[in-house]
Amino acid sequence: MLRPPYTPLVDSLPSTVPFVGPETQERRRGRPFKARIGANENGFGPSPTAVAAMAAAAGEAWKYGDPENHDLKQAIAAVHGVGPENVVVGEGIDGLLGLAVRLLVEPGRAVVTSLGAYPTFNFHVAGFGGRLVTVPYVADRESPDALIDAVRRERPAMVYFANPDNPMGSWWPAETVERFAAAIPEGTLLVLDEAYVEFAPEGTAPRLDCADPRVLRFRTFSKAYGLAGIRIGYAIGEAELVRSFDKIRNHFGVNRIGQAGALAALADTDHLTWIRGKVGAARERIARIAADNGLQALPSATNFVTVDLGRDGDYARRVLAALVERDVFVRMPGVAPQDRCIRIGCGLDAELDYLAEVLPEALAAAG
């Protein structure tokens, strides 16, 4: 029996996903990981007030969530000093990236990003038929100069830039980002992914004008707020651009329980401060573990540390496999020369204790 035919675009795409989750790996292995420190999750957990708010909202799960995300948009706008008309809420940054690409990218239209940067963005561009144009990292950081050169050459629909960056943990100061944004030509959108900015040093987040239709900045509740499982993110931008998301978004995509949790998390600034302290301490611990094994931890403004193994991608993949065999879930950059590294999340003390125990074994096994 013939299946209904796919569109030519979908038919041309491979059946791949950007990431293989730890649960998938655990099912294949037949046992759980002892250290789940590979998905950039916040294992220190969400605010207790957010947990309580979600528990209370669960009793009203028979209701749809507010399709306008009104209360959450008002709270986000107040935190950032913008109007609620400048805020769009969606199913995590991933969901909002997909909507942004759908809004602006026609088949064949160029989109600029860094080679080896966040693969889910590339996944969306391919899914809507965009033509991905990549530039290399420079000194393990995304290069604003290389990106803007490609933008001037290609006149793309959008250019993706993460600050701080995943997978390297690197970052640029606000002044650099502001100069980069100012150089974006009309007709191109700067997709500024700030998923990790709450972990970054003071002076990393730029001052950008919400009236500028060339910039859309993305934030999430998945990282510093410890709510990856509820899938809520938001974008801040020019009001007309933000209003355009209403044409295509899933208006009931953000559920009632998640809205309640995000709203409470945003208000608990003490917990956010505590999380920053725990992450900072864990970054220092990972750096010490790396140094104890003759490895170099790269500077990080995120909730993970990228560790330079000092050799090549084949060696790094052997180390990664040896860690997985020893029940440690980590990941690594996918593109050379950054693939000489592994990426280790800021886990709990017990997880980092176990990493310290088995990392020497993994390095020896990798040869």
CATH number of 48-267: 3.40.640.10
Between 256-267 and 48-58, two packed helices, what is the crossing angle to 10 degrees?
A: 160
Q: What is the pLDDT of residue 180?
A: 97
The pLDDT score that the predictor gives to residue 14 is 87
Q: Percent of the chain beyond pLDDT 70?
A: 100
Query: H-type helices in 236-348, by residue range?
Result: 239-244, 256-267, 269-292, 313-325
pLDDT, tens only, 180-217 = 999 999 999 999 999 999 999 999 999 989 999 999 99
Sign of CA dihedral 171, 173, 174, 179: negative
Structure tokens at 257: 């329980």
Give ∠ CA 328-331-332 in degrees, rounded to 5: 135
**For position 65, what pLDDT does the model report?**
96
Which tokens is 78 given? Answer: 């107040």
Which residues have C-beta within 8 Å of that of residue 204, sequence separation ≥ 6?
A: 163, 164, 171, 172, 173, 174, 197, 301
44 within 8 A of 226, measured Cβ to Cβ: yes
pLDDT in tens, 312-331: 999 999 999 999 999 999 99
Q: What does the alpha-carbon distance between residue 180 and residue 186 come to, in Å, rounded to a whole number?
A: 13
d(C-alpha 163, C-alpha 147), whole Å: 13
Would you call 56 helix, strand, or coil by DSSP?
Answer: helix
Confidence (pLDDT) at 16: 78
Give the pLDDT confidence score for residue 13 in this predicted structure.
Answer: 87
CB 252 within 8 A of CB 67: yes
In contact, 78 and 123? CB cutoff 8 Å: no
Distance, in Å, from the CA atom of 213 to the CA atom of 237, rounded to the nearest integer, reads 7
Which fold, 16-45+270-366? Aspartate Aminotransferase, domain 1 (3.90.1150)
- Report the pLDDT averaged over residues 236-246: 98
Instruction: Give the type of residue at 229.
Output: G
Q: Are 152 and 146 spatial neighbours (Cβ–Cβ below 8 Å)? A: no
- Structure-token pair, residue 37: 């420190």
For residues 81-85, average pLDDT: 97
| Angle 217-219-222 from CA coordinates, rounded to 5° | 160
Q: Which pTM value belongs to this model?
A: 0.96
Q: Does 17 have pLDDT greater than 80?
A: no
> Rounded to the nearest 10 degrees, what angle do helices 313-325 and 349-366 cross at?
130
For the chain, the structural domain boundaries read: 16-45+270-366, 48-267
Average pLDDT value over all residues in the chain = 97
pLDDT band at 93 (very low <50, low <70, confident <90, very high): very high
Give per-residue pLDDT as tens, 47-72: 999 999 999 999 999 999 999 999 99
- pLDDT band per the 50, 70, 90 thresholds, residue 1: confident
Tokens representing residue 235 in the block: 């974008």
pLDDT in tens, 342-354: 999 999 999 999 9
- CB under 8 Å to 212, separation ≥6 — which residues? 181, 238
Which among 194, 179, 218, 222 has a CA at the least distance from the CA of 345? Answer: 222
Half-sphere exposure of 182 (CA within 13 A, CB side): 8
